[in-house]
């Protein structure tokens, strides 16, 4: 609860800074503030409690995921320093929206009432619509915003319908009450339908097949930093929320429901990976890669009781490597109209450090050992096999192989092609973010227990 209040306070503070004309200080202050919030959140780790009529429930799950979100937001805000250089007059708005978005995200993982959940997801979504369309003179950005908005509000409608049906079945929005009631034998069919509709709405948010179509288009059209946000923070938030929704409501996950999850998971991996193969736009490629990672993360839904830790680990691994990759993309594609793969030609020669970081990030996503991505996949496979879905794991393995194809396309472009032009300037912040993110990823890879055991 304190986290949420603090974040909102920080968001308002950002707006005030604009009024006091302290634009230069916004990014550092926000980062410091977020670090403070991070400390606050971590301090709540062991004090599970519920606040305000069970509206907000602080648990280990919520604190750990909130911390992850905060860390990601810190990176994203820091990257904003360079990204919004030319938009000084709006920088406070951008930063504030991001902070509010974080508030929505935190609400989504710590809700105790479906109202909080719904408002949280709406805050998040609306912030994203705005950020996607924020490059207002750019038609691509407009288009991305429009597509995202239309499809997102459509999905919101479905989520709302789901909530409504759950309410109809249970007569309450409180998840603990719902959880208690869901044990009773006489459940109206509204409840499972509500759960399914809710799930579908969330599957849209995590961009799982067949609800993924928005993702590549929106990722490509949005400003690069927004893409970074969507592909890391937003995806992780949505996934964590879906997990939490299903677990806290104690929804009776039937076998057929699991079948659906398995099929969607397989489809997401396969479609995501195969479609990514022929992409030339890096953001678009990472969008499809994100689709496939969503498929991987969906595997956690098959073994609720134990998989919270692995979801957290996968989410951290994926989002940290995503941040690292996007910081390099931001650097490379700055002042370019597109994020075409040709921009990366010869990066290995002109900027070996960033090239190495991007390589490491991609290797992590591909699941090559010692990077966290490997262990993430490992624990997932482990749990899924334990749950008895060997076929799914084999599909996942095949997909891991396919994924190497396009991740390496980028690596090859960096190391085998000749650079086409000089890049100037060494933006310290981008370097710092990239290095810290990849180092965190490596640390997670070397000491997976740090995270895995948190929610065990």
List binders of other proteins among 233-292 (CB under 8 A): 254, 256-257, 259-260, 271, 274-279, 284
The minimum distance between CB 77 and other proteins, in angstroms, equals 16
What's the gap between Cα 319 and its chain centre?
6
* Burial class, 305, CB count within 10 angstroms (exposed 0-12 / middle 13-18 / buried 19+): exposed
The encoded tokens of residue 443 equal 């640390």
* Contact between 211 and 260 (Cβ < 8 Å): no
Least Cβ distance, residue 53 to other proteins (angstroms): 5
DSSP helix/strand/coil, 345? coil
Out of 57, 74, 126, 324, the only residue in the binding site for other proteins (CB under 8 A) is: 126
Based on the shown chain and the rule CB under 8 A, indicate whether residue 88 belongs to the binding site for other proteins: yes
- Give the CA dihedral 360, 365, 367, 373, nearest 10 degrees: 90
Cβ proximity to other proteins: between 11 and 322 the closer is 11
Between 40 and 410, name the residue whose CB sits nearer to other proteins: 410
Please, are residues 281 and 140 in contact by the beta-carbon 8 Å criterion? no
The one segment of 38-46, 147-155, 235-243, 320-328 that binds other proteins by CB under 8 A: 147-155
Does position 214 interact with other proteins (CB under 8 A)? The reply is yes
Q: Which residue, 15 or 29, is less far from other proteins as judged by CB? A: 15
Which residue stretch of 24-32, 35-43, 48-56, 295-303 sits at the interface with other proteins (rule: CB under 8 A)?
A: 48-56
CB of 146 to other proteins, least distance (A): 5
Stretch binding other proteins (CB under 8 A), from 33-41, 148-156, 320-328, 424-432: 148-156
Binds other proteins (CB under 8 A): choice among 33, 80, 221, 223: 221
- The answer to the question of residue 90 lying near other proteins (CB under 8 A) is yes
> Does residue 404 bind other proteins (CB under 8 A)?
yes
Figure out which of the listed residues 393, 434, 436, 438 binds other proteins, where binding follows CB under 8 A.
Answer: 393
- Interface with other proteins, residue 35, by CB under 8 A: no
State which of residues 2, 23, 45, 415 lies at the interface with other proteins (CB under 8 A): 415
- Which residues contact residue 100 at a Cβ distance below 8 angstroms, ignoring those fewer than 6 apart? 7, 8, 11, 123, 127
Work out how close the CB of 34 gets to other proteins at its nearest, in angstroms, rounded to a whole number: 17
Q: Which of 32, 390, 420, 428 binds other proteins (CB under 8 A)?
A: 390
Candidates 41, 134, 227, 327: give the one binding other proteins (CB under 8 A): 134
Long-range contacts of range 125-130, CB-CB < 8 Å, 24 or more positions apart?
125/152, 125/153, 125/156, 125/205, 127/97, 127/98, 127/100, 127/101, 128/101, 128/152, 128/226, 128/229, 128/230, 128/234, 130/97
Cα–Cα dist 80/229, whole Å: 11
Quickly tell me which residue has 């929505």 as its tokens.
Answer: 104
Among 143, 340, 419, 432, binds other proteins (CB under 8 A): 143
Residue 290 token pair: 């994100």
80 binding other proteins? (CB under 8 A): no
Our finding on whether 107 is near other proteins (CB under 8 A) is yes
Q: Which of 2, 23, 45, 217 contacts other proteins by CB under 8 A?
A: 217
Q: What is the DSSP string of 32-89?
A: HHHHHHHHHHHHTTT--EEETTTTEEE-HHHHHHHHHHHHHHHHHHHHHHHHTGGGGG
CA-to-CA distance for 448 and 5, rounded, in angstroms?
Answer: 31
- Cα–Cα distance between 9 and 100 in angstroms, integer? 9
What three-state secondary structure class fits 305? coil
CB of 449 to other proteins, least distance (A): 5
Number of residues that bind other proteins (CB under 8 A): 131
Q: Does 432 bind other proteins (CB under 8 A)?
A: no
Q: Nearer to other proteins by C-beta: 148 or 433? A: 148
What is the rounded distance in angstroms from the CA atom of residue 101 to the CA atom of residue 130?
Answer: 11
Least distance to other proteins, CB of residue 99, Å:
10
Least separation, in Å, of the C-beta of 158 and other proteins? Answer: 7
Kindly state the tokens that stand for 198: 């809710």
Residue 4-23 contact track with other proteins, rule CB under 8 A, x = bound: ----x--x---x--------
Identify whether the C-beta of residue 318 lies closer than 8 Å to the C-beta of residue 234. Answer: no
Residue 4 CB, shortest distance to other proteins, in Å, is 8
Q: What residues between 157 and 186 interact with other proteins by CB under 8 A?
A: 157-158, 160-161, 163-165, 167-168, 171-173
Judge whether 44 and 2 are in contact, CB under 8 Å: yes
Name the β-bridge partners of 111. Answer: 56
Residue 336 in the binding site for other proteins (CB under 8 A): no
């Amino acid at each position: 609860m304190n986290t949420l209040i603090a974040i909102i306070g920080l968001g308002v503070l950002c707006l005030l800074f604009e009024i006091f004309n302290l634009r230069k200080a916004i990014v550092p202050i926000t980062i410091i503030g977020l670090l403070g919030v991070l400390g606050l959140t971590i301090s709540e780790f062991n004090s599970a409690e519920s606040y305000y009529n069970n509206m907000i429930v602080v648990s280990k799950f919520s604190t750990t995921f909130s911390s992850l979100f905060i860390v990601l937001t810190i990176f994203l805000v820091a990257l904003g320093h360079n990204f919004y250089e030319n938009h000084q007059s709006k920088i406070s708005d951008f930063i504030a929206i991001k902070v509010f978005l974080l508030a929505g995200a935190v609400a989504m993982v710590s809700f105790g009432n479906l109202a909080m959940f719904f408002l949280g997801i709406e805050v998040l979504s609306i912030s994203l619509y705005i950020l996607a369309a924020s490059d207002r003179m750019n038609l691509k950005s407009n288009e991305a915003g429009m597509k995202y908005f239309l499809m997102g509000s459509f999905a919101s409608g479905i989520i709302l319908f789901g909530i409504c049906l759950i309410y109809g079945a249970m007569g309450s929005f409180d998840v603990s009450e719902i959880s208690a009631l869901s044990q009773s034998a006489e459940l109206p069919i509204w409840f499972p339908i509500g759960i399914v509709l809710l799930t579908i709405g969330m599957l849209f948010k995590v961009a799982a097949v067949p609800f993924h179509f928005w993702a590549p288009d929106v990722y490509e059209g949005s400003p690069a930093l927004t893409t970074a946000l969507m592909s890391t923070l937003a995806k992780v938030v949505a996934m964590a929320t879906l997990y939490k929704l299903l677990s806290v409501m104690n929804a009776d996950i039937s076998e057929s429901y699991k079948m659906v999850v398995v099929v969607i998971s397989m489809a997401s991996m396969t479609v995501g990976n195969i479609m990514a193969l022929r992409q030339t736009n890096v953001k678009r490629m990472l969008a499809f890669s994100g689709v496939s990672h969503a498929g991987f993360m969906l595997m956690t839904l098959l073994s609720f009781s134990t998989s919270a830790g692995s979801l957290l680990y996968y989410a951290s691994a994926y989002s940290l490597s995503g941040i690292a990759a996007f910081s390099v993309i931001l650097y490379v594609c700055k002042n370019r109209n597109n994020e075409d793969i040709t921009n990366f030609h010869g990066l290995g020669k002109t900027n070996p450090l960033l090239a190495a970081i991007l390589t490491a990030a991609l290797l992590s996503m591909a699941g090559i050992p010692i990077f966290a991505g490997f262990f993430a996949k490992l624990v997932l496979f482990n749990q899924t096999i334990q749950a008895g879905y060997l076929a799914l794991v084999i599909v996942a393995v095949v997909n891991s192989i396919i994924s190497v194809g396009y991740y390496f396309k980028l690596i090859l472009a960096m190391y085998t092609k000749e650079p086409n032009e000089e890049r100037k300037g060494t933006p310290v912040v981008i370097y710092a973010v990239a290095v810290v993110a990849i180092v965190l990823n490596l640390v997670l890879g070397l000491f997976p227990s740090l995270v895995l055991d948190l929610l065990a």
